[in-house]
């Protein structure tokens, strides 16, 4: 039997992508519908951010998360929900006084970043074990904050998907595992191509894979034009994959992706061409070590 590969679909993200591709879902109804379509195309896991329906900008509003989750669960109670906790980690210094937060800063408390997870209790939530330059802003995730967020996730019954963007992030994650804040076996997501993190290359993927704990379940993705090449490399390297309009707006050179489902279908084709097969939500729960 061919190896089962989990597809996660990252639906919308936090950047100004709706202005670049009208297929990026914005409203709770659009995000939920896109999630359901992605699930029909083969995604076992859907990774969820929310946006302000009026401005299309990223939001941390609990009511928006609740509406998305309820709409999905009402139509499909099998697909695995993965709620982001990334929003709330951005810091942009004030140009005149760098110690002060400038315009665009979202940095907030672990409690605020975890509120929707504690309320809605998804099977998975992300945990960005990373402090780094993220493009032109700083992405701050202090160890003390990560400990609190991991503990809150555990209390809510959500398994952290440990997002790592470079080798040092894996070492910090190992420390959190050793301290008992992250349960074993851990679940990792290797994130490649984000400026200024690890590049989306086969060598980088294999190097980071080899630094993970031996009992870890893992996925990986590359952004933009690296999305589908990294699907192929990841499957060949024994991992699970992520695609979606959060990471890439194109189905091919110069061709905007018409939907998240189209990106999932392309990933499923690559998986099958490499003699693997697409995991169902039930199989994904087993592979990722999820309870319930």
pTM of the complete model: 0.97
Q: Is the pLDDT of residue 291 over 90?
A: no
Residues 6+ apart with CB under 8 A from 50: 12, 28, 31, 58, 59, 60, 61, 64, 65, 68
Q: What are phi and psi of 278, to 5 degrees?
A: -80, 130
How far apart CA 49 and CA 46 sit, in angstroms, is 10
Predicted pLDDT at 292: 59
CB atoms within 10 A of CB 15: 14
- Chain segment 106-123, per-residue pLDDT in tens: 999 999 999 999 999 999
- Chain segment 242-288, per-residue pLDDT in tens: 999 999 999 999 999 999 999 999 999 999 999 999 999 999 999 99
Predicted pLDDT at 2: 81
Residues β-bridged to residue 192:
222
Q: What six digits make up the tokens of 27? A: 């409203």
**Count of the separate structural domains present in the chain:** 1
Using the Cα atoms of residue 10, residue 12, residue 13 and residue 19 in order, give the sign of their dihedral.
Answer: positive
- Chain segment 33-43, per-residue pLDDT in tens: 999 999 999 99
Secondary structure of the chain as H, E, C letters:
CCCEECEEEECCCCCCCCCCCCCCCCCHHHHHHHHHHHHHHCCCEEEECEECCCCCCEECCHHHHHHHHHHHHHHCCCCEEEECCCCCCEECECCCCCCCECCCCCCCCHHHHHHHHHHHCCCEEEEECCCEEECCEEECCCHHHHHHHHHHHHHHCCEEEEEECCHHHHHHHHHHHHCCCCCCCCEEEEEECCCCCCCCCHHHHHHHHHHCCCCCEEEEEECHHHHHHHHHHHHHCCCEEEECCCCCCEEECCEECCCHHHHHHHHHHHHHHCCCEECCHHHHHHHHCCCC
Cis peptide before 194 (omega within 30 of 0): no
Query: What is the domain-level CATH number for residue 65?
Result: 3.20.20.70
Predicted pLDDT at 145: 98
Average pLDDT over residues 7-26: 97
Q: Could you tell me the residue range of the domain that residue 273 belongs to?
A: 4-288
Q: What 3-state class would DSSP assign to 219?
A: strand
- Chain segment 199-242, per-residue pLDDT in tens: 999 999 999 999 999 999 999 999 999 999 999 999 999 999 99
Percent of the chain past pLDDT 90, that is, above it, reads 98
């Amino acid at each position: 039997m061919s190896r089962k590969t989990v597809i996660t679909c990252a639906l919308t993200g936090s950047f100004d992508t709706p202005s670049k591709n009208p297929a990026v879902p914005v409203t709770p109804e659009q995000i939920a519908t896109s999630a359901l379509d992605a699930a029909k195309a083969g995604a076992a896991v859907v990774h969820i951010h929310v946006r302000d329906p009026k401005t299309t900008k990223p939001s941390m509003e609990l009511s928006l998360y609740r509406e998305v989750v309820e709409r999905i669960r009402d139509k499909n109670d099998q697909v695995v929900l993965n709620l982001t906790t990334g929003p709330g980690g951005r810091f942009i210094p004030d140009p005149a006084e760098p110690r002060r937060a400038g315009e665009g800063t979202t940095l907030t408390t672990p409690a605020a970043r975890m509120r929707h997870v504690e309320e809605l209790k998804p099977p998975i939530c992300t945990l960005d074990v990373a402090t780094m330059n993220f493009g032109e802003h700083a992405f701050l995730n202090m160890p003390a904050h990560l400990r609190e967020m991991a503990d809150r996730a555990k209390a809510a019954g959500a398994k952290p998907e440990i997002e790592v963007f470079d080798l040092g992030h894996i070492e910090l994650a190992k420390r959190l595992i050793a301290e008992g804040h992250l349960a074993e076996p851990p679940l990792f997501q290797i994130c490649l191509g984000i400026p200024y993190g690890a590049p989306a290359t086969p060598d980088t993927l294999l190097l980071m894979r080899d630094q993970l704990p031996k009992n870890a379940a893992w996925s990986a993705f590359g952004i933009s034009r690296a999305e589908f090449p990294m699907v192929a490399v990841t499957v060949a390297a024994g991992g699970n994959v992520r695609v979606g309009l959060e990471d890439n707006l194109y189905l091919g050179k110069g061709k905007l992706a018409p939907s998240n489902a189209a990106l999932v279908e392309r990933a499923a084709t690559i998986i099958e061409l490499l003699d693997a097969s697409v995991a169902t939500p039930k199989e994904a729960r087993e592979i990722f070590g999820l309870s319930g």
